[in-house]
């Protein structure tokens, strides 16, 4: 089983490798949430804007789910942060997903493999894997 410390380490590794040019404008907390049927990940910011919180579906604690899937979802949420959604950074787009901005950002940062693995796994397995 994966835990929040594992997820924090993964986040730090990914930030250093793929998002090193993005300024951390506030504290970023990363943790697993409860198991969910529909949401893979989310990002939100505290009211005082001192902290952004990235939550990943609790199903991803299971080490049978490929690490690239977790990396894909985590990178997706980091892209939102970098684009100014749920972060103090200047918003770069009017809508968080319109026009494939998340995919384009992931591809430009060398995360195309994780993007494709996550999308294929989600399509083929997500509904089957959910057993709350």
**In this predicted model, what pLDDT tens digit does every residue of 102-132 receive, in sequence order?**
999 999 999 999 999 999 998 887 765 545 4
User: What per-residue confidence (pLDDT) applies to 125?
Assistant: 78
Count of domains forming the chain: 1
C-beta of residue 43 within 8 angstroms of C-beta of residue 53: yes
pLDDT in tens, 28-77: 999 999 988 778 999 999 999 999 999 999 999 999 999 999 999 999 99
Q: Give me the phi and psi of 73, to 5 degrees please.
A: -70, -45
pTM: 0.91
Asked, for residue 130, whether it belongs to a domain, the answer is no
Q: Looking at the domain assignment, is residue 132 inside a domain?
A: no
Domain range for residue 9? 4-125
Tokens of 120: 């294929």
* Segments of the chain assigned E as strands: 27-32, 41-45, 51-56
Domain membership of residue 28 (yes or no) is: yes
Q: Which residues of 71-89 are buried (b: 16+ CB within 10 A; e: fewer)?
A: bbbbbbbbbbbbbebbbeb
- CATH code of the domain covering residue 65: 3.30.2010.10
């Amino acid at each position: 089983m994966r835990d929040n410390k594992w997820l924090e380490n993964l986040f730090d590794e990914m930030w250093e490798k793929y998002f090193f040019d993005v300024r951390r404008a506030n504290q970023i907390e990363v943790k697993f949430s409860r198991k969910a049927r529909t949401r893979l990940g989310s990002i939100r910011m505290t009211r005082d804007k001192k902290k952004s919180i990235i939550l990943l579906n609790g199903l991803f604690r299971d080490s049978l789910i490929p690490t690239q899937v977790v990396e894909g979802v985590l990178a997706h949420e980091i892209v939102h942060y970098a684009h100014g959604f749920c972060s103090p950074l200047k918003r770069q787009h009017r809508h968080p997903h319109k026009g494939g901005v998340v995919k384009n950002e992931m591809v430009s940062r060398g995360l195309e493999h994780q993007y494709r693995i996550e999308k294929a796994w989600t399509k083929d397995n997500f509904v089957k894997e959910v057993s709350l």
